[in-house]
Amino acid sequence: MPDTFTARDSLQPAPPAEACLDRPRRHYAADLIAVAYIGAIGLIALLSGAIYVLFPELGALSWDVMRRPNGRWGSAPLMLALTPALTGAVGTVATRNLPYGFASVAIVVCASILILRTMRSPIAPAISAGLLPLVLGITSWWYPLGILLGSALLTALLLGWRRSSPLGGATPQSATPPGAAVASEPHPESLLALDWFAPLLIFVLIAVAMVKLTDMRFILFPPLVVLMYEMFHDPDRCPWAPHLGRLPVVCFAAALGGFVVHQQVPVIPLAAALSMAWGVLVLRIFRTNVPPALAVALLPMVIDRPTILYPISVGIGIALGALWFSIFRKFRRRPGLIVS
């Protein structure tokens, strides 16, 4: 996946030629470690019988923090360990007390975003951890505990990778994908800023309406809210916002491959590793930096008897999201309509 040059790069000293030549090799090593980690999590799920240890967003998180240990997610190891488990607990409480619908989904999404903002956590995939119990009907308290175990193991792996890998050093600006170059800078907007929170919540409610109309629960697949949150919250720095036309294809391909692997490979650790590897391959083929697509590839692992409707639902959901965001972006650019 090629690096992207930005205007800020011209202000940075050029990295050594050896580092530029060696960077692809380091990224391949990071990819392999992320795939091996997901396979290990699959083994823990198999041995423990707790399938929800295999939280799908661990695919997105592990790939990103291995490739960019000092990126937006990798630079917050404590939040990486804690935030998904906290939002997962919120989602479990909601699922135990409320039916799936407009109110429960809105409550969980708002509560998850509130946790992120209150804790100043950059770990956006934690929103998916909150929504997953509602979508799958998970009421067991083992779910947030399983997430905590997987996230803690990933944090330990990240800290070790930082010490042992050249990628763990200072990352040159030119090596960071869009969205990462200024990710550590504070963002001034408030929690309920209408220029991003309102359209995000409206989209979530529209997606719930589509689920009700079609009975296709995975039109609102949990990683979709992560994708939309990052785009609405910070469209100028979101790495996949400029590639809306490619986004539905990438997510559909990841979902279809993950579904096929789940159907054909009965061994959980191997299926998890192959699904993750397929997702990474899709990102490389389409030259996109969309970590949540890896969660889409892994999601069939925790679905009870998924069918071909899963990738179809994902395609519909992400196409709907891309259309809604394109409308939002068009109005956002009109002076006087959006307050920034």
Q: What is the pLDDT of residues 239-254, one digit of tens each?
A: 999 989 999 999 999 9
Segments forming the whole domain that contains residue 254: 23-332
Domain assignment present for residue 214? The answer is: yes
Q: Is residue 15 part of a domain?
A: no
Residue 55 lies in a domain: yes
The answer as to whether 7 is a domain residue is: no
d(CA 305, CA 80): 30
- What is the structure's pLDDT at 86? 98
**Res 5 pLDDT > 60:** no
Q: Is residue 2 part of a domain?
A: no
pLDDT at position 329 is 83
Residue 157 covered by a domain: yes
Cβ contacts of residue 161 below 8 Å, gap of 6+?
30, 33, 65, 66, 69, 167, 168
**pLDDT tens digits along 138-161:** 999 999 999 999 999 999 999 999
Does the pLDDT value for residue 78 go beyond 90? Answer: yes
Of the two residues 169 and 109, the one the predictor is more confident about is: 109
Q: Residue 168's pLDDT is what?
A: 55
Return d(Cα 316, Cα 220) in angstroms, integer. 9
Residue 315: pLDDT over 60: yes
Band of residue 103 on the pLDDT scale cut at 50, 70, 90: very high
pLDDT, mean over the chain: 86
Q: For position 331, what pLDDT does the model report? A: 77
> Domain tally for the chain?
1
- Tokens representing 332 are 């956002």
pLDDT of res. 237 = 87
Confirm whether 48 is domain-assigned: yes
Task: Decide if pLDDT at 101 tops 90.
Answer: yes
Residue 30 token pair: 């990071």
Mean pLDDT of 210-217: 96
* Of the candidates 327, 246, 339, 329, the residue with the CA atom closest to the CA atom of residue 293: 246
- Each residue of 219-228: pLDDT tens digit? 999 999 999 9
CA distance 232 to 195: 8
Q: What is the pLDDT of residue 235?
A: 86
In a domain, 93, yes or no: yes
